Amino acid sequence: MNVTSVDFTMDTLPVRQSSAVSIGRIKPELYKQKSVDSEDGAKEPVETCGKLSFALSYDYEEQALVVCILKALDLPAKDFTGTSDPYVKIYLLPERKKKFQTRVHRKTLNPMFDETFRFPVEYSELCNRKLHFSVYDFDRFMSHDMIGEVVVDNLFELSDLSREAVVWKDILAATTESVDLGEIMYSLCYLPTAGRMTLTVIKCRNLKAMDITGYSDPYVKVSLICDGRRLKKRKTTTKKNTLNPVYNEAIIFDIPPENVEQVSLSIMVMDYDRVGHNEVIGVCRAGPDAEGLGRNHWNEMLAYPRKPITHWHALCEWPGRASSFESQGSCPSPKPPQTP
């Protein structure tokens, strides 16, 4: 209980009157204070940014949930032209490997999507699943801006899905998808005399579930980056069926002191898939060009050489191939690792 929301200030107390006549004039509203259980004190209003319309039904023959994204209204303008280029991504949680995406609609705040998607799922499982819509603004040259999201917790809220039900939902403003991607703990240690940096992947916690089982098969891939070019990559072992893997595995890169300010690290937590492609769960970055804790962790490593510096890092969404580290660039390469 958030007891700090209770108003204990003396201004709300009635002033004592010397006259007995004033006793009958006590105003109850003067004693009124915020309740810790009241809705006003419990949560702040959430900003909305338009509405999304979609239709839900269930195909008993195909055993699939049918979702038709119809249209959106009154989206905010994300471009200098006063418009946006919106599209919608859709998941049937907790599984996130299977996702659909609408086409991008150019220069509009009221897009008409009218696209239908089918999620194979047994009818009896629908009570344990929920729909997650993420509305984005497409950007050709930069990362796409998230406009907001809609989450349908109870798929049977309006009907039994035996017939198509049209739903209107407010789009809640968001800059990142609300699904927590989890965290990774790793340590950095640099030996200037040997020109060697050791990144020890210790463990992860609360990773995003990528499989329908509610778990993932995570491993960690670390890349040494210079001017957008990947110089070296290493990876840990894979831990099966867990969202809280423990690794305690060291990854070593040879980086001469003269190159230490020119390189950075890309840390990617991946979900192994025996059949399909391995999926990115989340990423973080460490180095002089990183942001926030990623840069601070790197600077702390350099300030205390030969000492392992350990931090938890929140995982972020993978921006996609548009900012892939495979692009070409020129950089003095660190010396090759010594052969044992």
Mind listing the pLDDT tens digit for each residue in 113-148?
Answer: 999 999 998 888 888 788 899 999 887 766 677 888
The domains of the chain, with CATH numbers, are 48-173 (2.60.40.150), 182-315 (2.60.40.150)
Percentage of the chain modeled with pLDDT above 90: 48
Q: Find the mean pLDDT for residues 160-167.
A: 86
What is the model's pTM? 0.50
- Residue with tokens 């809640």, as numbered in its chain: 172
Asked whether the predicted pLDDT for residue 222 surpasses 80, the reply is: yes
Q: Find the largest Cα–Cα distance for the chain.
A: 97
Q: Find the mean pLDDT for residues 310-316.
A: 91
Burial (0-12, 13-18, 19+ Cβ within 10 Å), 159? middle
Percentage of the chain modeled with pLDDT above 70: 76
Q: Give residues with Cβ within 8 angstroms of 143, minimum separation 6.
A: 319, 320, 322, 323
Question: What integer pLDDT is reported at residue 64 of this predicted model?
Answer: 92
pLDDT tens figures, 229-245: 899 999 999 999 999 99
Q: Find the mean pLDDT for residues 174-193.
A: 84
Question: What integer pLDDT is reported at residue 78 of this predicted model?
Answer: 81
Sign of CA dihedral 322, 325, 326, 330: positive
Give the residue, 45 or 165, on which the prediction is more confident.
165
User: Band of the pLDDT at 185, cuts 50, 70, 90?
Assistant: very high
Q: How far apart are CA 289 and CA 71, in angstroms?
A: 40
- Residue with tokens 């840990």, as numbered in its chain: 236
CB 222 within 8 A of CB 234: yes
Q: Find the mean pLDDT for residues 206-226.
A: 89
Beta-bridge partners for 250: 200
Question: What integer pLDDT is reported at residue 214 of this predicted model?
Answer: 80
Residue 332 to residues 32, 234, 324, 329, 338, Cα–Cα distance (Å): 70, 20, 20, 10, 18
Question: What integer pLDDT is reported at residue 320 of this predicted model?
Answer: 54
pLDDT tens figures, 14-71: 444 433 343 344 444 444 443 333 334 444 566 788 999 999 999 998 899 999 999 9
pLDDT tens figures, 90-107: 988 777 667 899 999 999
